[in-house]
Amino acid sequence: MSSGMDSEELEDGPGSVEARLGAAVQGYQSAVDDFDRELARLMGVNETDLRCLEILLSVPEITPRELSRQLGLTTGSVTTMLDRLEKLAYLTRTPHPDDRRKTLIRVTPEAARRAYGLIGPFIEDATRRVRGRYTPEQLELVIDYLAFTRDIQQEHVERLREMPASRATRTGGRQSPGPRGGAAR
């Protein structure tokens, strides 16, 4: 089966497609990490708390046990995290209507407005610029690539979660350090 590339393009080396793809993925991931770190700083939370808020913004409600599973944290760590976020008025906890032993977690409208106020300009700008650069057919390929690589990455997240840590882990996530190099803006 032909991929449309000649054998020279497939060879390993600094200019190969594989090397350039690897560098592009690494660069993209670094940019995402930097953006998330700045969001965490502006929201006044650590990066694990920010990931929790990201999950909460994507669903109407969720149980602490499901958050624990998605974040790869113990239920005790999730409870501590939820206490912090509730104190900041970023979420609410209510009893489950059908099972009194369960609790439902929801992001507050204020937290959603604050988060979207920070990420909205990026989403709007990226959407406008990407639509202007690529055809709908190319965008379908990009969507497929991102979904496919997300699934691969998630498989490896699960693999890593099953490995024992080399030392005791911190469960609350690390505090966002602010701008790189500690320089004030």
Residue 144 lies in a domain: yes
Residue 12: half-sphere exposure toward Cβ, Cα within 13 Å: 0
The band of 15, judged by pLDDT with boundaries at 50, 70 and 90, is: confident
Which residues, including other chains, have CB under 8 Å from residue 134's CB and lie 6 or more apart? Answer: 142
Long-range (24+ apart) CB contacts under 8 A made by 137-145 are none
* pLDDT at residue 100 in the model: 85
* pLDDT at residue 168 in the model: 65
Residue 25 lies in a domain: no
Residue 122: half-sphere exposure toward Cβ, Cα within 13 Å: 11
Residue 157: count other Cβ atoms within 10 Å of its Cβ.
11
| 38/178 Cα distance (integer angstroms) | 6
Q: Which domain holds residue 66?
A: 34-162
CATH number at residue 102: 1.10.10.10
Q: Which residue has the tokens 């900041």?
A: 88
Residue 4 lies in a domain: no
DSSP secondary structure, 31-93, as one string: HHHHHHHHHHHHHT--HHHHHHHHHHHHSS-B-HHHHHHHHT--HHHHHHHHHHHHHTTSEEE
pLDDT in tens, 68-88: 999 999 999 999 999 999 999
Residue 14 lies in a domain: no
Residue 6 lies in a domain: no
Per the structure, how many domains does the chain have? 1
**pTM of the predicted model as reported, rounded to 2 decimal places:** 0.77
